[in-house]
Structure 1
Amino acid sequence: MNAFEVLRDSLFFFKRHLASIVQLCLPLVIVEALLQQVVDHASDPDSFSSVSVIVGLLVYPLYTAALILFLDARTRGEAPRTLDLLAMSARLWPRFALLTALNTLLILLGLSLYFLPGLILMVMLAFGEYLLVLRGLNPLHAMKESLWLSRGHFWRILLCILCVMTPLWLLKGATLAVYPEPQNPIVSVLIDSGHSFLQLFTSVVLFRLFMLISQLPEKRDGAV
């Protein structure tokens, strides 16, 4: 299970189903960017805004859960309707939002402790969303199961995340260099929406890893 093969397969899937992913996720991504723009203009730019975090918790679980359900359906050869996927993601929202809040809190706490603990937690908790959506686990159980599932695959998961996120971070930096703060609100929404949408490729890559790792004999036999 080579990391670069995972990336290649994920990129092929993302390109093949790009139109469907755009239709499913992009409207909510734009709504999230618009809400964040409103919050940013209403708050002190130099202070941490808890409202901004709440906006993410409101919208991110909806389009991410819908994307995970879409990935699972397409893997099984099914083609569910966009509205059905969004309806299912809405039902999952309370648990998914709680999981996102817990993950964010732990990772931010880890990052504050000289960065490395946060990076480790980000990798080890990477499969929690898939366990919650696809296996119906509660948030705490999903986090615990992700810690177990990622054991022995830390470097492979980290490499896949960095291979996706590093170009996106560089692209975001280059975009901010071309369009520095303060930005036109429309330009800001477009940049934030585009960046958030491209980050969805990380979910595709991690889904591919999750499927491969969870099917390994030692993982499958030990699954709860």
Structure 2
Amino acid sequence: MTVFSLLRDAWFFYTRHLAVVLSLCLPLIILESLTRQALEHWSTEQTLPIQDLVAGLLFYPLYTAVLIVLMDARGKNQHPSNVWLLSQAFQRWLPLAVLVGFTSSLIILGGALYILPGIWVMVKASMSEYLLVQRGLSPLEALRDSFILTRGRFGLILSCVLLTLFPLMALDVLSVQWTQGDPLLRVLTDAVLGLGQSYTTVLFFRLYMLIVPPVAS
């Protein structure tokens, strides 16, 4: 499996299920953007990074979990309702928020140490969200198993990170400047970036399904 075949397969799934992705994820992405702007309005320069993280932890775990549950169900040839998918996502919100908060802190800390340790953590933790949502592992168990499962696959995963996540992160930083003072443009930009993030969730789930052994029935 090459990087480009992974990108192709993820794009095929994403475009085929775009209507469902939009109906499930886009409202949560918009709410995240509005919440972030509200928190920024009431924040000082010192508290702004914390407020930004809070907004992400409120909504990112929800639209990530609902997308993972959707992909898992479609992989089993199941077609659950949106209400069921959202209910499953809400059940996984707290442990996934704990995992995301912990891994984000590790990545930020690693990034402060000349960037490379942060990239290493990002790659090694890339399977943890899927292990937590699909397998029901605790945050620490999911992180531990992700570190194990990514052994010998660092180059492949890093290539996926560099081709998808890094451009989105760069655009996110730049968007703060070009949308400053325009709340509507900020929401629209955040929506596009959030949907791009959803595509990366599909991409890494495809990789996850290739390297994680199936659960014995």
- TM-score bucket (shorter structure): over 0.9
Provide the residue aligned with 1:124 in structure 2: 124
The aligned residue for residue 156 of structure 2 is 156
CA–CA distance in 1 between the matches of 2:127 and 2:107?
14
- Alignment CA distance shift 1:165-1:49 (3 Å): closer
2:8 equivalent in structure 1: 8
Q: Between Structure 1 and Structure 2, how many residues are aligned?
A: 216
For residue 208 of structure 1, what is the aligned residue in structure 2? 206
- Alignment match, 1:72: 72
Aligned to 2:182: 184
- For structure 2, the 5+ residue unaligned runs are none
Please give the alpha-carbon distance, in whole angstroms, between the structure 2 residues aligned to 1:36 and 1:151: 36
User: 1:108 and 1:174 mapped to 2: Cα distance?
Assistant: 18
Distance 1:167 1:121, change over 3 A: closer
Does structure 2 retain, via aligned residues, the 8 Å contact 1:65–1:92? yes
Paired with 1:189 and 1:11, the residues of 2 have a C-alpha distance of: 24
Q: 1:158 to 1:40 in 2, by over 3 A?
A: same
Report the 3-state secondary structure (helix = DSSP H, G, I; strand = E; otherwise coil) of the residue aligned with 1:49.
Answer: helix
Q: Deviations over 1:35-61 (max 9, x none)?
A: 001111222357643122112111111
> Is the Cα–Cα contact under 8 Å of residues 43 and 49 in structure 1 kept in the other structure?
no
Equivalent pair of 2:43/2:51 in contact (CA under 8 Å): no
Corresponding residue of 2:100: 100
1:32 and 1:174, CA in 2 relative to 1: closer, same or farther beyond 3 A?
Answer: closer
Q: Deviations over 1:29-85 (max 9, x none)?
A: 000000001111222357643122112111111111010000111111111111111
Runs of 4+ in 1 over 4 A off after TM superposition: 169-176
| C-alpha distance in structure 2 between counterparts of 1:94 and 1:167, whole Å | 28
Gaps of 5+ in 1: none
Partner of 2:194: 196
- Shift of residue 168 of structure 1? 3.3
Identity of aligned residues (%): 42
Structural RMSD (CA): 2.0
CA contact (8 A) 2:40 2:51 kept: no
Shift of the alpha carbon at 1:170? Answer: 6.0
CA distance, structure 1, for counterparts of residue 179 and residue 13 of structure 2: 35
**How many angstroms apart in 1 are the aligned matches of 2:163 and 2:119?**
14
Gap change, CA 1:101 and 1:74, over 3 Å in 2: same
Distance in 2 (alpha carbons) for counterparts of 1:105 and 1:168: 19
